[in-house]
Amino acid sequence: MDDARLFRTAADALAGEGWCVLGGLLTPAQTRALADECVALQAAQRLAPARVGAAHTATALRGDRTQWFDPAAASGPQRAFLARIDALRRTLNRELMLGLVESEAHYAVYAPGARYARHLDRLRDSDARVLSAVFYLNEGWREADGGALRLYLGDGTQRDILPRAGTLALFLSARFEHEVLPATRERLSIACWLRQRSPDRTM
CA distances to 110, 117, 133, 146, 156 from 164, rounded to whole Å, are 14, 20, 14, 11, 25
Per residue in 173-189, pLDDT tens? 999 999 999 999 999 99
Q: Give the pLDDT score at 7.
A: 96
Q: Give the pLDDT score at 56.
A: 52
Q: Which helix (H) or strand (E) holds 66?
A: strand 64-68
**Where do the structural domains in the chain lie, given as residue ranges?**
3-49+61-196
* φ, ψ at 184 (rounded to 5°): -95, -5
CATH architecture observed for domain 3-49+61-196: Sandwich (2.60)
Give the C-alpha separation, 191 to 81, whole Å.
11
Give the C-alpha separation, 158 to 129, whole Å.
22
The answer to whether residues 159 and 153 touch, using CB atoms and an 8 Å cutoff, is yes
Instruction: Give the chain's length.
Output: 203
The answer to whether residues 107 and 66 touch, using CB atoms and an 8 Å cutoff, is yes
Q: Give the pLDDT score at 67.
A: 97
Q: Which amino acid is residue 4, in one-letter code?
A: A
Give the C-alpha separation, 178 to 116, whole Å.
9
Per residue in 104-128, pLDDT tens? 999 999 999 999 999 999 876 688 9
Q: DSSP label at 62? A: B
Q: Give the pLDDT score at 202.
A: 43
Tens digit of pLDDT at every position of the chain (203 positions): 688 899 999 999 999 999 999 999 999 999 999 999 999 999 999 999 987 754 455 566 889 999 999 999 999 999 999 999 999 999 999 999 999 999 999 999 999 999 999 999 987 668 899 999 999 999 999 999 999 999 999 999 999 999 999 999 999 999 999 999 999 999 999 999 999 987 554 44
* φ, ψ at 7 (rounded to 5°): -70, -35
Give the C-alpha separation, 131 to 157, whole Å.
21
Q: Give the pLDDT score at 203.
A: 41
